[in-house]
Amino acid sequence: MTRAAGTGRRIGTVVLSAALIFVALETALQVRSQLRFGQSVFNALRGETRYVEDERTGLKLLRPNRVFPGQDVEIRTNSLGLRSPEVLPAREPGSLRVAVVGASTVMGELARRNEGTFPALLGERLRARYPQRKVEVVNAGISGARLADQLRMLEKVVLPLRPDLVIVYPGFNDFADYCRDAASAPTASRQGLPLLSLPGWLLSIDAVRRHTVFLRAASPGRQAMRDPAEVDLAPYRARLDGLVAAARGAGVPLLLATNARAYRPEQPLEEQMRLSEQARYFNPCFDVAGLNALYDRHNGEILDAGRRLGVPVLPLHERIPGGRAYFADASHFTLAGERLAADTIFAFLVSRGLPGA
């Protein structure tokens, strides 16, 4: 055997071994995801993905009338594709119906059961307050929804249910558009090998990215950080106005809530970095100071919309402290956070006189 042939065989063995290790790791991560969250590539292979594109509304919704079992998170869906009890278009006489519109924090991305989401907990509190009435709280939150999606959800799904009140907790997904805009800006032509695009369902790649956020943030060649003061919030403002206009056009009262988060400027920087890891992963063009500033700007827009348009605003970001006690990651609540959110919204509604009550 020649030296070149021996070297080639050794390289082939190393590549094959690396490929087998990668396949084993990916399989283990997929099985783990299936057991914990009831969601993995195996769902896609069976045609049972958690989300579907709804032709009637044009929305991404949960697959209707399904149970996605998991040890950590079990999601049960109704016929509308929501993580919510079944709700019929027809209203019972004297009933009270409230809808909560938003994204993954409203849906309860990390809540173990449907009953542990803050919309469901709000329903418990309202039923105890009004035991003589049928109370329904519709959880109209969908993971990944931006304000434009929430407006469509309001118009296509929620308003036809004729709720007495709509609560909007917008979430932070619009932030991702700012990094996407920055990434699409003209740059110098890239030299060398073409970039390869990997399938989004590869959990091993996602795991590496998530656990190396701190390395990328500290890298001298990292993506240039955006100045949050230069982000144009006019489109966000217009979407907020659109939500208010749609609710008013249907004669339905609206309550806006500001966005709470785990990390705060008053915390030690090390704690902020730890608590903001998820947010920096999804919004890599902002550092933690930039994300704090951007959150404050968006909450400022929500508060300003309330003043301009005469809509009540619940400053939830002031009522829920940061840190691990109330947040499982940068923005999703722990059970204690879900309960505090429900308590805070309930108290706010009672203090102002709940519409329809």
pLDDT tens string 57-97: 999 999 999 999 988 999 999 999 999 999 999 999 999 99
Q: Where are the domains of the chain?
A: 51-177+226-352
> Predicted confidence band at 34 (pLDDT cuts at 50, 70, 90)?
very low
Retrieve residue 239's tokens: 């979407």
Which of the 8 DSSP states describes residue 230? G
**For position 15, what pLDDT does the model report?**
58
pLDDT at 194 exceeding the cut of 60: no
Residue 184 has a pLDDT of 57
Q: What pLDDT was estimated at residue 71?
A: 83
Q: In which band, very low, low, confident or very high, does the pLDDT at 22 lie, cut at 50, 70 and 90?
A: very low
Residue 199 φ/ψ region, left for φ over 0, alpha for ψ in the -120 to 50 degree band, beta for the rest: beta
Structure tokens at 109: 């991305």
Residue 2 pLDDT exceeds 90: no
pLDDT value of position 312 = 97
What does the pLDDT look like over 223-251, one tens digit per residue?
Answer: 568 899 999 999 999 999 999 999 999 99
DSSP string, 311-355: --EE-HHHHS--STTTBSSSS-B-HHHHHHHHHHHHHHHHHH--T
Q: Letter for the amino acid at 136? A: E
What is the reported pLDDT for 14? 62
pLDDT of residue 192: 40
CA dist., res. 38 & res. 154, Å (int)? 28
pLDDT at 213: 43
Three-state DSSP state, 7: helix
**Confidence (pLDDT) at 180:** 80
CA 312 to chain centre: 23
Per-residue pLDDT, 357: 62
Which position has the higher pLDDT, 217 or 261?
261
Q: Using one digit for the tens of pLDDT, what is the confidence trace for 160-193? A: 999 999 999 999 999 888 988 665 544 434 444 4
Q: What is the pLDDT of residue 20?
A: 54
Q: What mean pLDDT do residues 107-121 have?
A: 97
Residue that wins the pLDDT comparison between 295 and 217: 295
Identify the pLDDT of residue 176: 86
Helix axes 175-183, 288-309, angle to 10 degrees: 120
Residue 57's contacts (CB-CB under 8 Å, 6 or more residues apart) are 152, 153, 156, 157
Domain 51-177+226-352 grouped into CATH 3.40.50.1110: yes
